């Protein structure tokens, strides 16, 4: 029920009421309303969360949650898995297991719970977890967990999510918060219209939110992330203390100002480093060239490590330490790069961001929350702002991968935080332009020459394969692009080229093999398609009732030219296709001229959310994209 970094110690102990023999047990699975079981793999029977803020550095939390697990897909909710650090501690855990009828089978105490570190790849961390599994799977069954937490900063109390993701309904959920009057609270309740009860007793303010009968959200293919739909309470406070630094999270400007103060004066270089910066950049003609040369220097002289230890998870190593030791985490490498650019006369800012290929949290301009797990660098420009992923050896300055593109980031400036948007890479940036020349003799033997230009994510993924230097992986990639019986890879070369803010790659590849052809007398039956415009998975659904979301945009042009060594005349060519909708398009055109068969295909897909009533049409587009030799023939007659 908590967000990942929110943990607190309890000071509220619930009363336990036992049922008499004549009463139906409280957790009898048969008592769950039908509406709560629909589309659900698990049901939250009840959830009680009580938080008491004694001061900005003393916050206590008690949580009790009861799940009824309906099937294997809901089993994850049966497992206790609480993450904590020295700044936010799990102090007590208990739990009980019940059968389908609601009869208690087993109980556990804190001493039964396993504690272990969970970030072995980090050189310095204190992140651990409390873990317990009843190992019971006679469905349906129920688990009840009570957990107590303590935290030392309001920084970690930023939001509360009532839901537990897709396919999990809620019968009842109660959230209560107590805080002293000298702390100001700003809040925003999302995706529900239930009332927020606010009361005051002396110098203590109280807030309460209660939800009932929230149906499960079904995970349809291409659904928008459940995070954008689930009930949540966003919280921000005007008093915050961490690492001896005081601040506020009342606004995004306050949030950024706090991080600025937490990391202030850590971007100072030693004299030898300053001299090195000038040696590298004084002859550069542009800001972009300065960024490029300093990025290369950082790439060759530092490496990324993970730091998750106490306040060190939020306060950076200073630039002198990074250059001296040769390593740093995301914020330390970003801070060091920023320090060198500062010495070179270039203004840059650290940018807090959520890094993950999955959908990022939705940030509200009026509700600042601690929704970041990564730091990158922003070099503002009037045009073409330069974004730099300082932890990567592969991404060129100016380009962000799926890990951080198309989401909000918070620039940390001396004037406070500024909420901005990172670039969106869609069908204009993620492109493939491919020319396939096939020379075929009378026996069906072919020589295939492929020239292709990739950009954006297509280029980056191919470059990643080439840079590994693992021949088997590279061969697998290249053979996977050609559809011939027993093809042979003859040669492949590639060249990475600079482009306008995103990767660009040229390839030349040759193959030999045999065409998918059947020669009967004077007739030549040819299955011509030997490359794909997109290997698309088709996700049938039946009747769709909710919008679908396309997160990947791209454009592919595929030109296929067959040259024959004898004179042929076309008897049948592939029929033209033109399919164009708001979410994308597919076209195919075949022609025969000068003893050459030419097929040109295009496939485009556009990022966005689209209504449910056009989903079947989107599946039709994916069907065209998946066209291969089994779907298409050309017939020729020998002259």
Query: What's the 3-state SS for 492-526?
Result: EEEEEECCCCCCEEEEEEEEEEECEEEEECCEEEE
In sequence order, what E strands does 298-430 have? 303-304, 307-308, 327-328, 349-353, 374-379, 386-388, 408-413, 416-421
Closest listed residue to residue 7, CA positions, set 122, 105, 111, 126: 126
How far is CA 367 from each of CA 57, 168, 250, rounded to the nearest angstrom? 21, 26, 8
- Alpha carbon 461 to its chain centroid, in Å, reads 16
Query: For tokens 């989903």, what's the residue?
Result: 615
CA atoms within 13 A of residue 627's CA, in its CB half-sphere:
21
Closest listed residue to residue 235, CA positions, set 352, 370, 416: 370
Structural tokens at position 390: 């300082």
Closest listed residue to residue 624, CA positions, set 597, 585, 573, 596: 585
Closest listed residue to residue 573, CA positions, set 596, 544, 542: 596
What pLDDT score does 12 carry?
28
Q: Do residues 199 and 212 touch, judged by C-beta distance below 8 A?
A: no
Structural tokens at position 550: 């396309």
How far is CA 285 from each of CA 35, 288, 290, 503, rounded to the nearest angstrom? 66, 9, 8, 22
Cα separation of 355 and 312, whole Å?
19
What pLDDT score does 502 carry?
81
Backbone angles phi, psi at 491, to 5 degrees: -160, 150
Q: Do residues 166 and 216 touch, judged by C-beta distance below 8 A?
A: yes
Cα separation of 621 and 635, whole Å?
26
Closest listed residue to residue 156, CA positions, set 266, 58, 19, 300: 58
Cis before 33? omega within 30: no
What pLDDT score does 87 carry?
78
Cβ density class 559-593: b for 16+ within 10 Å, e for less? bbebebeeebeeeebbeeeeeeeebbbbbbebebe
Cα separation of 375 and 363, whole Å?
16
Mean pLDDT of successive 10-residue stretches along the chain, which has 639 residues? 34 34 76 96 96 94 96 96 83 95 92 76 62 95 95 84 88 97 90 93 96 90 74 88 85 92 92 96 94 94 69 76 90 95 96 80 76 91 90 87 89 94 92 96 93 93 88 92 91 84 91 92 91 72 84 94 94 94 96 95 94 92 79 88
Residue 639, burial from CB neighbour count under 10 angstroms (0-12, 13-18, 19+): exposed
What pLDDT score does 9 carry?
25
What pLDDT score does 16 carry?
32
The pTM assigned to this predicted structure is 0.83
What residues pair up with 199 in beta bridges, in sequence order?
Answer: 206
């Amino acid at each position: 029920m908590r967000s990942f970094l929110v943990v607190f110690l309890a000071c509220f102990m619930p009363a336990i009421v036992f049922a008499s023999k004549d009463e139906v047990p409280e957790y009898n699975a048969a008592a769950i309303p039908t509406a709560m079981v629909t589309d659900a793999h698990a049901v939250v029977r009840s959830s009680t969360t009580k938080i008491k803020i004694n001061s900005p550095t003393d916050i206590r939390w008690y949580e009790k949650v009861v799940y009824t697990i309906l099937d294997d897909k809901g089993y994850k909710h049966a497992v206790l898995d609480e993450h904590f650090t020295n700044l936010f501690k799990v102090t007590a855990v208990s739990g009980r297991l019940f059968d389908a009828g609601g009869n208690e089978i087993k109980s556990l105490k804190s001493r039964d719970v396993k504690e272990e570190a969970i970030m072995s790849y980090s050189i310095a961390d204190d992140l651990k977890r409390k873990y317990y599994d009843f190992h019971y799977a006679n469905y349906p069954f129920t688990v009840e967990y009570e957990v107590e937490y303590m935290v030392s900063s309001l920084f970690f109390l930023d939001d509360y999510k009532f839901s537990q993701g897709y396919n999990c309904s809620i019968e009842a959920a109660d959230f209560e918060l107590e805080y002293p009057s000298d702390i100001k609270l700003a809040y925003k309740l999302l995706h529900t219209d239930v009332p927020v009860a606010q009361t005051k007793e002396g110098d203590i303010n109280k807030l309460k939110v209660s939800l009932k009968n929230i149906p499960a959200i079904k995970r349809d293919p291409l659904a928008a992330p459940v995070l954008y739909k689930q009930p949540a309470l966003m919280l921000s406070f005007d008093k915050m203390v961490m690492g001896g630094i005081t601040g506020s999270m009342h606004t995004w400007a306050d949030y950024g100002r706090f991080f600025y103060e937490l990391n202030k004066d850590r971007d100072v270089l030693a004299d030898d480093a300053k001299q090195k910066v000038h040696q590298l950049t004084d002859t550069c003609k542009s800001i972009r060239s300065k960024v490029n040369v300093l990025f290369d220097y950082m790439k060759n002289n530092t490496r990324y490590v993970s730091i998750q230890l106490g306040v060190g998870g939020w306060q950076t190593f200073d630039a002198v330490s990074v250059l001296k030791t040769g390593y740093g985490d995301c914020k330390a490498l970003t801070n060091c790069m920023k320090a060198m650019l500062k010495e070179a006369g270039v203004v840059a800012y650290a940018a807090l961001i959520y890094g993950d290929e999955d959908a990022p949290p939705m940030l509200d301009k009026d509700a600042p929350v601690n929704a970041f797990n990564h730091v990158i660098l922003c070099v503002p420009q009037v045009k073409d702002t330069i974004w730099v992923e300082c932890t990567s050896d592969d991404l060129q300055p100016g380009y962000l991968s799926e890990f951080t593109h198309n989401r909000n980031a918070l620039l940390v400036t001396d004037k406070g935080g500024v909420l901005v948007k990172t670039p969106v890479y869609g069908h204009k940036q993620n492109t493939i332009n491919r020319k396939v020349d096939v020379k075929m003799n009378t026996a069906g033997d072919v020589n295939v020459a492929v020239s292709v230009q990739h950009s954006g994510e297509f280029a980056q993924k191919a470059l990643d394969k080439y840079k590994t230097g693992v021949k088997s992986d590279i061969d697998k990639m290249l053979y996977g692009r050609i559809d011939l019986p027993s093809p042979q890879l003859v040669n492949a070369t590639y060249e990475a080229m600079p482009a306008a803010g995103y990767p660009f790659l040229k390839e030349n590849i040759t193959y030999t093999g045999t065409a998918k052809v059947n020669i009967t007398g004077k007739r030549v039956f040819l299955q011509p398609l030997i490359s794909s415009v997109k290997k698309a998975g088709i996700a049938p659904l039946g009747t769709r009732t909710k919008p679908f979301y396309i997160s990947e945009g791209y454009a592919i042009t595929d030109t296929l030219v067959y040259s024959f060594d004898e004179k042929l005349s076309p008897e049948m060519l592939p029929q033209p296709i033109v399919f164009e909708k708001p979410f994308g398009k597919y076209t195919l055109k075949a022609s025969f001229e000068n003893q050459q068969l030419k097929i040109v295909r295009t496939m485009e897909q556009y990022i966005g959310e689209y209504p449910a009533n056009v989903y079947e049409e989107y599946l039709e587009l994916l069907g065209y994209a998946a066209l291969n030799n089994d779907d298409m023939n050309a017939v020729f007659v020998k002259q």
